[in-house]
């Protein structure tokens, strides 16, 4: 890992939020049609369902709210804010540091492989759009985090930091709920109600993430790590490992 850079102050959220072209770019980044292969991974959810830890809609809500308030609020989202600031300031050292830091928080080989697969896929996509600098992150051996490329696109497209965090959290939650519809009895209407119910949790996680100092970052989710470990050797599965 690279040496720690000087502390960065993430850009303050704009009072009016994203609008116009930045809003459309934000919608593009958060779209389930973004071709990065997120649908092929369950982020440990399939392992949790197989173990009986998540069995119904209420259990799904508890599982996702817990992850939002834990590792997402204390790791993924604050790191994303710092990556957004680093790309905005053109600080390559800080970009490398927070990319490596976030990779080090992945507690299983499966979670790390998922993050890097999505990161490289997004890098390849962005290089074909209007961000040729993403091409350097697209190599098969690159340890490219998804949040790193998400932050690059948001910073270059003028998406405010708060909206960027909300978009990444939403994209993850939506993918998790869609995965749940394939893993348990959960209909489309119930899935939409669950998404709506989780919106305040996303808002709270983003607010907390933006308030944390560097030395307050970090959170271990033992249940997620165990679910992912179990999934790596699960005999039958729908999602990649």
Global pTM? 0.90
Give pLDDT, residue 15: 36
SS3 content of the chain, % helix, strand, coil (to 5): 70, 0, 30
Cα–Cα nearest to 98, from 119, 113, 76, 65: 76
Distance CA 129, CA 127 (A): 5
Name the band, by pLDDT with cuts 50, 70 and 90, for residue 228.
confident
- In this prediction, residues 189-205 reach a mean pLDDT of 97
Span of 19-33, 66-80, 107-121, 175-189 with lowest mean pLDDT: 19-33
List, in order of start, the domains of the chain with CATH numbers: 64-232 (1.10.4190.10)
- In this prediction, residues 116-144 reach a mean pLDDT of 93
On average, the pLDDT of the chain sits at: 91
Cβ atoms 60, 186 nearer than 8 A = yes
Cβ-Cβ contacts under 8 Å for 109 (sequence gap 6 or more) = 232
Q: Please say if the pLDDT value at position 167 is more than 70.
A: yes
- In this prediction, residues 169-196 reach a mean pLDDT of 96
| Residues written for the chain | 241
Give pLDDT, residue 33: 87
Cβ atoms 22, 162 nearer than 8 A = no
């Amino acid at each position: 890992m690279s040496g720690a850079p000087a502390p960065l102050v993430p850009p303050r959220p704009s009072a009016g939020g994203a609008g116009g072209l930045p809003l459309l770019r934000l919608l593009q980044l958060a779209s389930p049609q973004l071709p990065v292969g997120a649908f092929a991974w369950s982020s440990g959810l399939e392992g949790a369902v197989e173990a009986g830890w998540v069995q119904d809609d209420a259990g799904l809500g508890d599982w996702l709210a817990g992850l939002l308030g834990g590792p997402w609020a204390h790791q993924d989202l604050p790191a994303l804010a710092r990556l957004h600031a680093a790309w905005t300031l053109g600080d390559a050292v800080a970009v490398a540091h927070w990319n490596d830091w976030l990779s080090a928080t992945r507690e299983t080989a499966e979670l790390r492989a998922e993050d890097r697969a999505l990161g490289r896929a997004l890098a390849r996509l962005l290089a074909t759009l209007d961000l040729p600098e993403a091409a350097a992150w697209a190599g098969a051996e690159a340890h490219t985090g998804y949040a790193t490329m998400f932050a690059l696109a948001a910073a270059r497209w003028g998406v405010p930091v708060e909206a960027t965090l909300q978009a990444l959290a939403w994209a993850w939650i939506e993918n998790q709920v869609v995965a749940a519809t394939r893993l348990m009895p959960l209909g489309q209407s119930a899935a939409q109600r669950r998404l709506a119910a989780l919106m305040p949790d996303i808002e709270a996680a983003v607010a907390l993430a933006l308030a944390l100092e560097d030395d307050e970052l970090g959170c271990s989710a033992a249940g997620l790590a165990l679910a992912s470990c179990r999934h790596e050797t699960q005999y039958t599965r729908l999602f990649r490992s």
